[in-house]
Amino acid sequence: NAGVTQTPKFQVLKTGQSMTLQCAQDMNHEYMSWYRQDPGMGLRLIHYSVGAGITDQGEVPNGYNVSRSTTEDFPLRLLSAAPSQTSVYFCASRQYGIQYFGPGTRLTVT
């Protein structure tokens, strides 16, 4: 199993651009989530999904959209990038309570 994979690893955007961060898992986990990690702030939940077709907001959802059309994929869309969205983004999946993280995407918005 590849586990949780994320692409790209690094990305630089200009303010106002949009993009999609990809996340996939091959463990057939129902629960998936997106976090952002900022210095001194720990990890904060952006959006999560408890199964295909079901998504909900986390702690910091503004400026981000998600959808879950399949069990495997959970993309995160930035609608109009802002410098405040510069961060490291982690995707995770969970089964039997145990959470598994992807390697992360480092995003810089200039």
Partner 1 sequence: GIQVEQSPPDLILQEGANSTLRCNFSDSVNNLQWFHQNPWGQLINLFYIPSGTKQNGRLSATTVATERYSLLYISSSQTTDSGVYFCAVSAGGTSYGKLTFGQGTILTVHP
Told to check if 38 binds partner 1 by CB under 8 A, we report: no
Structure tokens at 39: 């210095």
Among residues 19, 27, 45, 52, which is the contact residue for partner 1, using CB under 8 A?
A: 45
Q: Quick one: which of 90, 91, 54, 96 has its CA closest to 71?
A: 54
Q: How far is the CB of 49 from partner 1 (least distance, A)?
A: 11
Told to check if 39 binds partner 1 by CB under 8 A, we report: no
**11-19, 28-36, 62-70, 72-80 -> range binding partner 1 (CB under 8 A):** 28-36
Told to check if 94 binds partner 1 by CB under 8 A, we report: yes
Told to check if 50 binds partner 1 by CB under 8 A, we report: yes
Q: How far is the CB of 50 from partner 1 (least distance, A)?
A: 6
Residues 6 or more apart whose CB falls under 8 angstroms from that of 3 comprise: 25, 26, 27, 100, 102
Structure tokens at 100: 């598994």
Cis ω on the peptide bond leading into residue 103 (within 30° of 0)?
Answer: no
